[in-house]
Structure 1
Amino acid sequence: MKLINLGILAHVDAGKTSLTERLLHAAGVIDEIGSVDAGNTQTDSLDLERRRGITIKSAVVSFVLDGVTVNLIDTPGHPDFIAEVERVLNVLDGAVLVVSAVEGVQAQTRVLMRTLRRLRIPTLLFVNKLDRRGADAERVYAEIAEKLTPAVVPMGRAYDQGTPHAGFLPYGPDDGAFATAAAEVLADADDGFLAAYVDGDGDVLTDGRLRHELATRTARARVHPVFAGSAITGAGIAALVSGIRDLLPTAGGDPDAPASGSVFKVDRGPGGEKIAYVRMFDGAVHLRDQVPVVRPGGSGGATGGVDGGVDGGGSKVTGIRVFDQGAAPVRPVVRAGQIGRLTGLADVRIGDTVGVPRPGGAAHHFAPPTLETVVVPVRRSDKGALHLALTQLAEQDPLINLRQDDVRQEIYVSLYGEVQKEVVATTLAEEYGIEVEFARTSVICVERPIGKGAAYDLIGTDANPYFATVGLRVEPARPGDGVSFGLDVELGSMPPAFFTAVEETVKETLRQGLSGWEVGDIAVFMTHSGYYARQSHSHGTFDKSMSSTAGDFRYLTPLVLMAALRQAGTVVCEPAHRFHLECPADTLAAVVPALVRLGGVPDSQQPKGSGAVVEGEIPAARVHELQQQLPGLTRGEGMLDSTFERYQPVRGPAPTRPRTDHNPLDRREYLRVVKR
């Protein structure tokens, strides 16, 4: 039986969870369709999800539709949980992007489609809510072509829109409108088809040829068929199911190759054990197998260290459940193409590879969290338990970064927005019994090097108390490259463990730059190296008082690195959001000046019905102020969406962040505290 791992994505409230319920009902998995408002849907299992009526955690359900086994992943739609969406995308065979027939293309819709196209994920679009007042499928088709991609092919026509009787009639073999529209889009996507079309080859316009070519280009993410209907009434669902079956590619993979799978979600079971959700791409993992867990290294997806595991051969798989026909039954093996829940991988994290990494595997491109908040336990006695609980939450979400300030006895957590803050607080209270408050929230900036800088410390000199020589050169890297480390010395000039100590310390130290912010887009090269060889007393015992250790390199590296960085200089950059603002046309005269006062840069204005749409960029730090002012500026009719776009240099005085390390910028104080 064919298998497809399918994602459903949408802007919040577009109806993707309702669509999931409708598909489950069509497959016979559930007898009654749940309601998001009633809080009884299958995939929104968290209490907070049911109370708020939004999806927070991705969920997997499996069922059979028209002879195809579908592993369906329902993802969050709220912008605060964009990382939860992005980490799922790399394990999909195809996706359905849901767009509201009333609201049309929204800010998050554009973000999602841009990501789907970048990752080349085959995608169908479903225009939902045809039965709602104000529905206009034709208008939304035009918006999709204008704002998402011109390579779209409507697969039918909507009728009785805005009424309970709204429906969707798929185009048949004799529909000339379909043939013309499909041929034009396919010609733009394929030179061979274009040549045949221009030459007047009548065969290319036959329904069978068109649908074959459409399936081929859809599978390559070059063309995107568009369906319409209503998840609530079931209109158009049959046509969508046929599209999923006929147009999206099925799961591939070599069943005889070495095991290779990707972890896209981590949960904890009733006993606190980790549960890893793994999409297998090749091979198979059997119960009680010893499998390596490989951590990605850096933004490029290079592999890093291997989980120590049992007997040095990896971690032992102690349990396997495989998603199948509405459940996840216990199985002895999970095979290529399938999604399984594995237990026994104690140190596993999201993004890890189980088995052998795939050559050229897609890198993660998570939008960074732009807010940082101080988490304070209501009961002081919970401070230790709070750190442990937050560490476990960070394992489930690698973009919840923790910073511990031992001087001020504070814990910092990075987040995406106020809704995610509420989720963290509720999770801590309900799952860990820890009540917390948030002391303050600030915007997370970054630092980037301005120029080049170099520094070194030589072993055996009075100014260097450590048994190590370290020289480093820093220079700007390309935007998005993160931190890279290279050698301008011979690899054999000292033991590998010492090079590893320097590289790890470089990356750790760059979490706090000259102004206290994390440094990115920087290349670091080791230019000098030296050490004292292992020395022993006459009776043969190792004497570290005469020999270099990895600790010497870990202690010295921050001093050299910060000296080089100070010479290079850094610029502090703040996050900028792309905003989409809709308001009554007669309020533009008040809205645009307010945007400018808040540092916003509007770059487009266009009419929309009786209103107007303004788009542009605004500093992330001012988004909340804009949200507070908008009701008064627009008589309560304004709607604002914003998503992270890029980092831009801060205008005016650069903000600083208190350091939480031993401050290698102050050499005398550092050497006083960090003794050999």
Structure 2
Amino acid sequence: MGIVAHVDAGKTSLTERLLFAAGVVDRVGRVDDGNTRTDSMDLERKRGITIRSAVVAFRLGELPMNLIDTPGHSDFIAEVERALSVLDGAVLVISAVEGVQPQTRLLMRTLDRLRIPTLLFVNKTDRVGARYDDLLADIRRLLTPAAVPMQTVPELGTRAATVVPLPTQRSELGEILAERNDEFLEQYLEGTADQVAELANQVASAAAHPVYFGSAMTGVGIDELIDGIRTWLPRATGSPNDDLSARVFKVERVAAGQKLASARIVSGSLTARTPVAVHPVDGPEYRTRPSGIELYADGARTPVDRVEAGQIVALRGLKDIRIGDQLGVRTTYTQRLFAPPTLETVVSARDRVRLFQALTQLAEQDPLIRIRKAEEITVSLYGEVQKEVIASLLESEYGVDVTFSETTPIHVERLNGTGEAIREITEGPWAAGVGFRVSPVAEGIEYELEVELGGLPRAFHTAIEETVRQTLHQGLYGWEIPNIRVDLIHTAYWSPVTVAADFRRLVPVVLMQAIAAAGTTVLEPLNHFELDVPPDTVARMMAHVAEHRGVVSLVDRTHLEGTIPAATTHAFEAQLPHLGRGEALLATSFDSYSPVPGAPPIRHRTDGNPLNEKQYLLHLNQSL
């Protein structure tokens, strides 16, 4: 089960309450005091926010539970995505005071798209300003029309706030359920409907969402929420008798730099020191064996020899493992729930070698922290808060003091048309031949063969495909080409002279010639924005949007929506407190890419520029 929410809604406090109720901790930790179980990083304790997902396992009566506490800040949405990929159910926490916030809406849309059964928990009912009726109306309007309140809240907004259960056999509930099931509607009209059973069915299919109320700080409503979790959220259904299927959702480094990979065992069983197939996010399958397995149980990790379906484990000894890799049988699931980072910044330190090594290890724990080493070292970001986190981690864990440049947008390149190139080299240090045809596609990288698979040793085919994917990270202007089809239309080799390295050197030259024949356009990222402003500032705000190259697509009284370039979003946001008298609320998320106006920006290359063969050969010689 995952606990998700907008930042400061009370996720970690709720986690502490559940751990206390299960007997895992003997006192409830407080975020403000920096003594919560799941926030273990120094920066998490100082800032009072969750940065990395944390796993804790315990039992609620007879129900074994693996609980994942996720970050709430939008800069760490990648951590949330990885947790969502392994959930059976979720609790979405909403503040009774602040209500439905931008991140809340994004999370609910994603939970709904993945059909993850979800309970809503309205926290902070004891706070001044807490709401009930109009908050329920907002939940139904902005999150889900099938929100089913399970309680009323006497003394709302005071320290004396309590919760009183509502009967399940009531007309409001029956009408909500009947709107989503015609068969149940007939039974309801006849007076023979079992509303409890139907609610369980609709929650399991993510069609209805019970709403519980309470306070994680005082403990009010927690027992009722626990009953709701046990009653409505479905158990894991994988069988230990099936083939092994497991998914890695977290990688961290522990003592002596050893990797520790957290994985959900979806089905089957896994034994320590037994060979297992690994299916990387990208790249060929390989086999390895975990040297040790630790089971999350009773609030801690315990070494075991065997684990099975439904459990979350930490695996040691998998030196090449990465987040998103699958073990055992490969299954299909949504790879991308949220957009990748659209910003980057240059990182500087006195010791560039130590900086690059440290950043490389950080990227293993968060694959969306992409690192580029050209004339300068850059990292990708979701937002400004991530800078502070990266700087803190580099200083505390690696002893590297860094500075950052101004954040800039990450552009991409789009193919303009179709291009081909074929080349064979039989003289000099190489002996190989390849040919490619490239064409644009709507999404993703497609790699296809128009040559006989058996006409070339498999190791050579592997070298060609891996190099193609690596080469596409830098197009004609140095930016990635994310949407492209590459057809391998020609191969040649000379035995026993040709080796795989010959293809790895030749592929970038030929592929870039094909891309040059097609041409590319540089695109910039656009953000979708939602902006709530004071009534008398609407006209001023619309002008402000236009000044930053934004376009307003919707105006609903004091609510504006539209798109704005990522390049101008930060400057746009910086002036909002003044223009909106401190009352403007802005939420942004990635929307799409659009051609850059004017001259296309050029990014420093790291590959020696395969289109300039003299420069490229010099780069290869220096890399040896």
Could you tell me the TM-score, scaled by structure 1's length? 0.88
Match of 2:100 among 105, 109, 118: 105
CA distance in 1, matches of 2:186, 2:334: 33
Kept in 2: contact 1:127–1:137 (CA 8 A): no
Kept in 1: contact 2:5–2:104 (CA 8 A): yes
CA distance in 2, matches of 1:450, 1:328: 53
Kept in 2: contact 1:137–1:228 (CA 8 A): no
User: 1:505 deviation in Å?
Assistant: 1.3
Range with greater deviation from structure 2 (418-427 or 147-156):
147-156
- Gap change, CA 1:653 and 1:133, over 3 Å in 2: farther
Gaps of 5+ in 2: none
Aligned pairs (5 A) from 1:21-60? 21-60=16-55
Secondary structure (helix, strand or coil) at the match of 2:495 reads coil
CA distance in 1, matches of 2:19, 2:57: 9
Aligned pairs (5 A) from 1:632-671? 632-670=578-616
Residue in structure 2 matched with residue 354 of structure 1 by the alignment: 327
Gaps of 5+ in 1: 1-5, 298-303, 308-312, 535-546
Residue in structure 2 matched with residue 159 of structure 1 by the alignment: 154
Residue in structure 1 matched with residue 481 of structure 2 by the alignment: 519
Kept in 2: contact 1:60–1:73 (CA 8 A): yes
Match of 2:248 among 263, 266, 280: 263
User: 1:632 deviation in Å?
Assistant: 1.2
Aligned pairs (5 A) from 1:224-623? 224-297=209-282, 304-307=283-286, 313-315=287-289, 317-358=290-331, 360-377=332-349, 379=350, 382-405=351-374, 408=375, 410-459=376-425, 466-478=430-442, 481-534=443-496, 547-607=497-557, 612-623=558-569
Kept in 1: contact 2:105–2:143 (CA 8 A): yes
CA distance in 1, matches of 2:315, 2:618: 48
The CA deviation string for residues 634-658 of structure 1, in whole angstroms up to 9 with x for no partner, is 2223232222232233233322212
Q: CA RMSD in A?
A: 2.1
Match of 1:63 among 53, 58, 66: 58
Kept in 2: contact 1:579–1:616 (CA 8 A): yes
User: 1:49 deviation in Å?
Assistant: 0.4
CA distance in 2, matches of 1:190, 1:458: 64
Secondary structure (helix, strand or coil) at the match of 2:256 reads coil
User: 1:192 deviation in Å?
Assistant: 2.8
CA distance in 1, matches of 2:527, 2:336: 20
Residue in structure 1 matched with residue 197 of structure 2 by the alignment: 212
CA distance in 2, matches of 1:651, 1:36: 46
Kept in 1: contact 2:277–2:328 (CA 8 A): yes
User: 1:524 deviation in Å?
Assistant: 0.6
Residue in structure 2 matched with residue 190 of structure 1 by the alignment: 181
User: 1:671 deviation in Å?
Assistant: 5.1
The letter of the residue matching 2:284 is G
The letter of the residue matching 2:359 is L
CA distance in 2, matches of 1:104, 1:267: 34
Kept in 2: contact 1:578–1:615 (CA 8 A): yes
Match of 2:190 among 174, 178, 201: 201
User: 1:667 deviation in Å?
Assistant: 4.0
Kept in 1: contact 2:270–2:306 (CA 8 A): yes
User: 1:196 deviation in Å?
Assistant: 4.0
- Is residue 69 of structure 2 the alignment partner of residue 74 of structure 1? yes
CA distance in 1, matches of 2:116, 2:29: 29
- Gap change, CA 1:586 and 1:397, over 3 Å in 2: same
CA distance in 2, matches of 1:51, 1:596: 39
Secondary structure (helix, strand or coil) at the match of 2:297 reads coil
Match of 2:13 among 18, 24, 32: 18
Kept in 2: contact 1:58–1:84 (CA 8 A): yes
The CA deviation string for residues 38-66 of structure 1, in whole angstroms up to 9 with x for no partner, is 21111111110011110001111122224
CA distance in 2, matches of 1:343, 1:130: 43
CA distance in 2, matches of 1:99, 1:324: 28
Count of residues paired in the alignment: 622
CA distance in 1, matches of 2:160, 2:99: 20
Secondary structure (helix, strand or coil) at the match of 2:386 reads helix
Kept in 2: contact 1:87–1:364 (CA 8 A): no
User: 1:362 deviation in Å?
Assistant: 4.0
Residue in structure 2 matched with residue 310 of structure 1 by the alignment: none
CA distance in 1, matches of 2:143, 2:602: 38
Identical columns (%) = 52
Kept in 2: contact 1:575–1:619 (CA 8 A): yes
- Gap change, CA 1:450 and 1:184, over 3 Å in 2: farther
Could you tell me the TM-score, scaled by structure 2's length? 0.95
The letter of the residue matching 2:574 is Q
CA distance in 2, matches of 1:451, 1:243: 55
